[in-house]
Amino acid sequence: MTSSSASHKARRLAEREARIVAAARALAEEHGWEAVTTRRLADAIGYSQPVLYSHFPGGMSEIVTAVALVGFDELARAMSGTGVGDPSESGAGADGLRAIVTAYLGYAERHPATYEAMFRLPIGAPFASEQTPRSMRVAFDALVEVLRSQERPPEDPATAAEVLWGAVHGVATLGSAARLSPGNEDRRVEELVRRYAGGSE
């Protein structure tokens, strides 16, 4: 096989995998993950189940992981696009923190099933280890950097970022479950900013 034909085959396989992942994600966003099965996914995209398993031998668990990693890529871009670390783009201090929190909550609200795959469903990607995929580290690093940019940064930015992530995730999760007061989104963001912009006491 020539290098050009091998490249073409690899590109075709990557495109097919991307289509499978996109279809799974679309079904989940519309009907919930409980409705996404390999049979229904195969029907939706016109592939046989053996074709799905040839790309994802782990079946649905591997497909959910692929959806989650796409979500982390998107979340990382959303958070990195806030200008964190660049004072000329309001990426420092309280404004940067507000932008990060708003970007995170906005993403979770727009893509609830993808967010569920990222943080609630079992996935084959480790957190907080040397094997953590880059996109997952980028999102976390954005929180670390915005905390370092505060007027009084925390002594341990990484741990503070974990706590901030937990707080923002909690707001996102409770909000999606209608467990928080409606119409109070902006005030919740401001409360998070107020509590974290000053750093640790």
Q: Which fold has domain 1-57?
A: Arc Repressor Mutant, subunit A (1.10.10)
Annotated domain spans of the chain = 1-57, 63-197
Q: How confident is the model at residue 201 (pLDDT cuts 50, 70, 90)?
A: very low
pTM strictly above 0.85: yes
> How far is C-alpha 31 from the chain's CA centre?
20
- For residue 111, which of 4, 33, 190, 13 has the smallest C-alpha distance? 33
**CATH architecture of structural domain 63-197:** Orthogonal Bundle (1.10)
* DSSP class per residue in 121-164: S--S--SSSTTS-HHHHHHHHHHHHHHHTSSS--SSHHHHHHHH
- Cα–Cα distance, 91 to 142 (Å, whole number): 10
Average pLDDT over residues 15-21: 94
Contact 77, 100 (CB under 8 A): no
pLDDT (0 to 100) of residue 82: 66
Average pLDDT over residues 43-47: 91
From the CA atom positions of the chain, what is the Rg in Å? 19
**Percentage helix, strand, coil, to 5, in the chain?**
70, 0, 30
Higher-pLDDT residue of 84, 133: 133
Q: What is the pLDDT of residues 129-182, one digit of tens each?
A: 999 999 899 989 999 999 999 989 999 999 999 999 999 999 999 999 999 999
Average pLDDT over residues 64-74: 96
Average pLDDT over residues 46-65: 94
Q: What is the pLDDT of residues 86-110, one digit of tens each?
A: 444 446 789 999 999 999 999 999 9
- Cα–Cα distance, 88 to 178 (Å, whole number): 37
Average pLDDT over residues 46-71: 94
Three-state DSSP at 119 gives helix
Question: Which amino acid would we find at residue 177?
Answer: A
pLDDT (0 to 100) of residue 35: 94
pLDDT (0 to 100) of residue 160: 96
What would the two tokens of residue 178 be?
């209608």
